[in-house]
Structure 1
Amino acid sequence: MSRPENSLGNALRAWRARITTADVGLPSTRRRRTAGLRREELAHLAGISTDYLLRLEQGRSRRPSRDVVASLARALRLSTDETCHLHLVARLLPPTPLKIPQLMPPGVQRLVSRWGNIPVGVFSASWTLLTWTSMWTALLGDPSLRSPEERNLVRAVFNEPPDMGQPLFPAEQNTTEFKAALVVDLRITRGAYPHDEDFRVLIDEVMSNSEEFRSLWSTPALGSRLGGHKRLRHPLVGEIGLDNDVLKVPDHDVRVVTYTAEPGTSDEEKLEYLRIAAARTTV
């Protein structure tokens, strides 16, 4: 008879092997027979006995409590996705985050700082604009003129009257297809953060103000695409065609929105003109 697969034990051993003592603030020793943490070191960090960790790794114990799994995840410095995987192999439902992240990871901050020549905006999972480049301002207007609540794309698309002034996103982009894709992404966010009270308030607010939103929210559509080729109208350069891409950073759940032009086109020249104009205004 074949032995049952030991997914939990295999995962724990693999993650323990990749962690160094320096990673967790433990003193290093010169002679270590195995890479990574020793079993007793991980057990100490997780607040469990070494014997119990041995039984988990050997598959003799397969149903650790939720508290034990959470302690192991913290001790092993697991990412969000890895923590979910650990819960699943331990036959537990993954933990549900209480709040939508509103802070950008350092890696995304560094990317945005290096993309100064591209219109880039970073949104939270509730579609609140967190940061943007100067080229975003040159193309779409200055978000700093709005309050943090007004920088939410859902409110801007479904709540604002046509005479609100400079839109958060260009009016040409607010097509039925775009709105449907936005609502699909919001529905995914609700599933990921069912206990976020601020997000619930946002959805209730837009639901009460927009019949179109209510209709889209009740439609079980999946797979809609937020990006694509967009033709926008700008007061300085007129009509400009740009590729709009929405890149998700899953572990931190932010959306990086970019606008780029095809090389060698008049659209690229117009975008470059906006960059020069923006640079002159900041001098």
Structure 2
Amino acid sequence: MATTEFGRAVRRWRDRVSPEATGLPSGGIRRAAGLRREELALLAGISVDYVTRLEQGRAAHPSAQIVEALARALRLSAEERAHLFELAGLAPPGPETVPAYLTPGVQRLLDRMTGTPVAVYDASWTLLVANPPYAALMGDPTEWRGNERNSVWRHFVGPGSRARHTPESLRAFEAAVVADLRTAAGRYPADRRLRQLIAGLRAHSERFAHLWDSGAVGHHESARKTIDHPQVGPLVLDCDVLTVTGSDLRIMVYTAEPGTDDADRLALLTVLGTQSLVE
């Protein structure tokens, strides 16, 4: 049965990934060197119960988003990722859909930047993965589902972000993300989720619809941003967005100027994480 084979594959690959390789602590007595189910669930952003049901063959038809999240968490190669999609009864994403695969180099970069807030987005500005310092700074994204994980949706329709905008920076930001979506829609015409995202944004946000219909243009640039954090107050940080050539992945990195109060507060957030900073 395909679902049973899917669960066996997840379990087999989970056993080979060490917690250290994912940036997780390896303390305590472990029966095996690989990831525990709760660790895989944390990395993939799904529940432990769902991981258990998948591995035991009791959960049928995992979605493409779930399979993609598991492939990232398990550090699968491109061939292994395609095989996992096939075991789930899904066609692996093709060249005309928005790429969501984290290359080994990007994954290693993310794993090593343990003291810096870093997140990886796809070409539609949907969050793929965020490290713990980013979650502590911008809010824990592990419970976000569907469009909640898309930063354009969160800005125009949802609760927004902790980044503070001036009128000028707001106009520049909105023009840039709308232009990004238009470029992505032209580059990935077969991506059904992207088409649905744009249709939903146009239906629920007059501001987005106006910018989309007016042909707004713009592009993201490195910028100094003020992040209003509910526990430690405002932090003035440099935000750099790096694009991975050939994959359209966007790596967002926040850093503070050394020797400043902002650097001290950012270091405090990194140490405390999200669990000690419950909103």
Q: Classify the TM-score, shorter chain.
A: 0.5 to 0.7
Distance 1:148 1:130 in 2: 11
Q: 1:14-163, aligned counterparts within 5 Å?
A: 97-160=95-158
Q: In structure 2, what residue type is equivalent to 1:156?
A: R
Rounded Cα–Cα distance in structure 1 between residues aligned with 2:205 and 2:250: 24
Corresponding residue number in structure 1 for 2:22: none
TM-score using structure 2 length: 0.60
Determine helix, strand or coil for the equivalent of 2:128: strand
Indicate yes or no: 2:231 matched with 1:236: yes
Aligned residue number for residue 278 of structure 1: 273
Question: In structure 1, how many angstroms separate the alpha carbons of the residues matched to 2:184 and 2:163?
Answer: 24
Where do 4+ consecutive residues of structure 1 move more than 4 Å? 279-282
Equivalent in 202, 209, 213 of residue 197 of structure 2: 202
What is the CA-CA distance between 1:221 and the residue it aligns to?
3.7
Change (3 A) 1:145 1:203: same
**Structure 1, unaligned runs of 5 or more:** 1-95
Alpha-carbon distance between aligned partners in 2 of 1:280 and 1:186, rounded to the nearest angstrom? 34
Q: What is the CA deviation profile of residues 140-186 of structure 1, one whole-angstrom value per residue up to 9, with x for unaligned ones?
A: 110002114311112111112xxx5xx5x325248222111111111
Q: Is the 8 A contact 1:178 1:226 kept in 2?
A: no
CA contact (8 A) 2:96 2:187 kept: no
Q: Distance in 2 between matches of 1:175 and 1:224?
A: 13
Q: What amino acid maps onto 1:178 in structure 2?
A: F
Q: Tell me what 1:258 maps to.
A: 253
- TM-score between both structures, scaled by the size of structure 1: 0.59
Q: How big is the shift at 1:279?
A: 8.7
| Structure 2 residue matching 1:143: 3-state secondary structure | coil
Residue 185 (structure 2) aligned to one of 183, 190, 199: 190
Is contact 1:182-1:226 (8 Å) kept?
Answer: no
User: Secondary structure of 1:258's match?
Assistant: strand
SS of residue paired to 1:194: coil
In structure 1, C-alpha distance between the alignment counterparts of 2:275 and 2:141, rounded to whole Å:
19
**SS of alignment partner, residue 125 of structure 2:** coil
Q: Structure 1 residues 280, 207: closer, same or farther in 2, change over 3 A?
A: closer
Residues of 1 paired with 2:179 and 2:227: CA distance? 23
Aligned partners of 1:189 and 1:227: how far apart in 2?
20
Distance 1:203 1:221 in 2: 14
CA distance in 2, matches of 1:120, 1:156: 18
Map Cα deviations across residues 16-71 of structure 1 (whole Å, 9 max, x no partner).
xxxxxxxxxxxxxxxxxxxxxxxxxxxxxxxxxxxxxxxxxxxxxxxxxxxxxxxx
Distance 1:251 1:118, change over 3 A: same
| Amino acid across the alignment from 1:125 | A
- Can you list the C-alpha shifts for 1:95-149, whole angstroms capped at 9, x where unaligned? x932111221111111000011111110011111110110011101100021143
Question: Equivalent residue of 1:145, what SS?
Answer: coil
Q: CA RMSD in A?
A: 2.2
- Partners of 2:194 and 2:118 in 1: CA distance: 24
**C-alpha separation in 1, matches of 2:151 and 2:193:** 15
Deviations 1:207-256 (A, max 9, x none): 11111001111233434335411012112221110011111112111110
Structure 2 residue runs without a partner (length 5+): 1-93
